[in-house]
Amino acid sequence: MKTAETPVGIFTINKVKIPSAYTCAAEQKIEYISENHMQIITMDQAVLFGNQLLSPRICQSCMNPDKITIYPLEIEYIGEKVLFTDHYSVKEWKKSDPLPEIHEWYPHIKKAGCNPCRNCGRC
């Protein structure tokens, strides 16, 4: 497990064990690009901005239920701002903004629970 400190909080990588059957879209890393530029790719934590949640995303193919991919949360700290990018959206945080909540994230598949059933094979 490695940690990195940003103005928003402390982020970790390689804390949560990812099942070997899952495919990761990117490797977890903490990269120091320059003195005031850092990139973190994590599958350990999610970030909550009010009602907007940015987190790693787990996707299961409906045609091939054994194919499961995790898309990480990317955090880029550049000088005065921090950019959060997940598979669906981007959020920019500046020092004047309120701090987001940082939560642990664990990879788990939710059953579809579709009514009526569409025979997609997820369950």
3-state secondary structure of 57: strand
Give the pLDDT mean for 16-29.
Answer: 91
pLDDT at residue number 108: 83
Long-range Cβ contacts of 53-61 (<8 Å, 24+ apart): 54/84, 54/85, 54/86, 54/89, 54/91, 55/86, 55/105, 56/86, 56/105, 56/107, 57/86, 57/87, 57/88, 58/22, 58/107, 58/108, 58/109, 59/87, 60/109, 60/122
Q: Are strands 10-13 and 2-5 parallel, antiparallel or unpaired?
A: antiparallel
pLDDT at residue number 64: 84
pLDDT at residue number 111: 66
Task: Decide if pLDDT at 121 tops 90.
Answer: no
User: What is the distance between the alpha carbons of residues 3 and 105, in angstroms, rounded to a whole number?
Assistant: 15
Token pair belonging to 103: 């939560």
Task: Decide if pLDDT at 45 tops 90.
Answer: yes
- Backbone phi, psi, residue 50, to 5°: 65, -105
Tens of pLDDT, residue by residue over 76-116, are: 999 889 999 999 999 999 999 999 999 999 998 776 667 77
DSSP state of 35: T
Give the pLDDT mean for 46-59.
Answer: 94
